[in-house]
Amino acid sequence: MARIAQALGLILAVIVLNFTLIHVAPGDAADVIAGDQSASSPEELAEIRARYGLDDPFVVQLGNYVGDVVQGDLGESIWDGQSVTSLIFDRLGATALLAFSALAFAFVVGVSIGTIAARKPTSLLSQLITVLALVGFAMPAFWSGLLLLIFVAVKVDFFPVSGNHDLGFEGNWFESLLDLGQHLILPALTLGFIFLAQYSRLSRASMLEVLESDYVRTARAKGLSERSVVFKHGLRNGLIPVVTILGLQFGTALSGAILVETVFAWPGIGRLAFDALLRRDAPVLLGVLLLASVVVIVANLLTDLTYRLIDPRIRVTGGVNA
């Protein structure tokens, strides 16, 4: 209960901080709305500010917003009047699919190559994996996405370049699933490369330490196969630091999705946030930021629970409830 209370307090603090940052940011949403409505006179601007409550004092605006959020009302888009909640949920599935696919790809491949590199740390293969991990970590998402678009999608014409379905696509559920999978590959690879480099290096360092521990030496002395020693005794403990980073990077995946979804025109929350930023659509932007914050906090709680499954010593010492 204490952890849940802390999480709720943190969410409230994030709501206040996000609203404050949006409020003090340069630009005026009323000017954007007025430009879209071809309204430029002072009277029309004043009417727009009054209509959306932009002329109220900051404390009043903050209080109204916090009260609405507590009641589950994220407001309406000042651009088209749609509910922010419905806008987010309409695109949540696409972003969740992209983020989970990217993280799953990065986790499985990163841990695998990191473990391989740790078994023979001085080998050429281990050095090559380290170099590739550094290159992947240093390459920005938008740059790797553009490279994939140019060399894989455009020149080779093997994968679709934008969206999550072909324009005017019609087919049964299986054909729709295949079409979605084709469109997902490039965005998921682009986003996954960011985390792949981190997971491979972290798992390599963790496994190097674990494989030199006393209980691993004991397992080898008992005559167990190297495969059993590495994957049954070593990998379980070596995964703990990787799982820690995995839990903390759900929020990073959402922020990275903004660039990736923009490059590939993927219809998710990242693209929604990018459009809201250009339009100064504060309610939509605040809704996306709140969602990202909640995802990070919930992911941290789930990470603590996952520790108990990976390492029984945490359950014995009660480390999760500390």
What backbone phi and psi angles, to 5 degrees, belong to 222? -75, -5
User: Where would I find the H helices in the chain?
Assistant: 2-24, 29-36, 42-51, 58-70, 84-119, 124-138, 141-148, 173-211, 214-221, 226-228, 235-248, 250-264, 269-279, 282-310, 312-317
Asked whether the predicted pLDDT for residue 10 surpasses 50, the reply is yes
For residue 182, what pLDDT is reported? 84
For residue 37, what pLDDT is reported? 60
In what helix (H) or strand (E) does residue 280 lie, and over which residues does it extend? none
Q: What is the DSSP track for 155-204? A: SS--S--SSSS-TT----HHHHHHHHHHHHHHHHHHHHHHHHHHHHHHHH
Asked whether the predicted pLDDT for residue 307 surpasses 70, the reply is no
**What would the two tokens of residue 312 be?**
């029984």
By mean pLDDT, which of 16-20, 54-58, 137-141, 282-286 is the weakest?
137-141
For residue 155, what pLDDT is reported? 66
Asked whether the predicted pLDDT for residue 321 surpasses 60, the reply is no
Instruction: Determine the average pLDDT of the residues in 299-303.
Output: 75
User: Of the segments 36-50, 101-115, 210-224, 291-305, which one has the largest average pLDDT value?
Assistant: 101-115
Asked whether the predicted pLDDT for residue 314 surpasses 60, the reply is no
Which is more confident, 146 or 95?
Answer: 95
pTM: 0.76
If phi > 0 it is left, if psi is from -120 to 50 it is alpha, else beta; for residue 31 that is alpha
* Class (C level, CATH) for 91-321: mainly alpha
Domain with CATH 1.10.3720.10 in the chain: 91-321
pLDDT digits (tens, 9 = 90+) for 257-284: 777 888 888 888 888 888 888 878 888 9
* Residue % of the chain over a pLDDT of 70: 83
For residue 86, what pLDDT is reported? 92
For residue 320, what pLDDT is reported? 44
Which is more confident, 234 or 59?
Answer: 59
For residue 167, what pLDDT is reported? 66
Do residues 287 and 84 make contact, with C-beta atoms less than 8 angstroms apart? yes
Q: Which residues pair with 219 in a beta bridge?
A: none
pLDDT digits (tens, 9 = 90+) for 25-52: 776 667 766 666 655 677 777 777 777 7
Instruction: Determine the average pLDDT of the residues in 122-136.
Output: 77
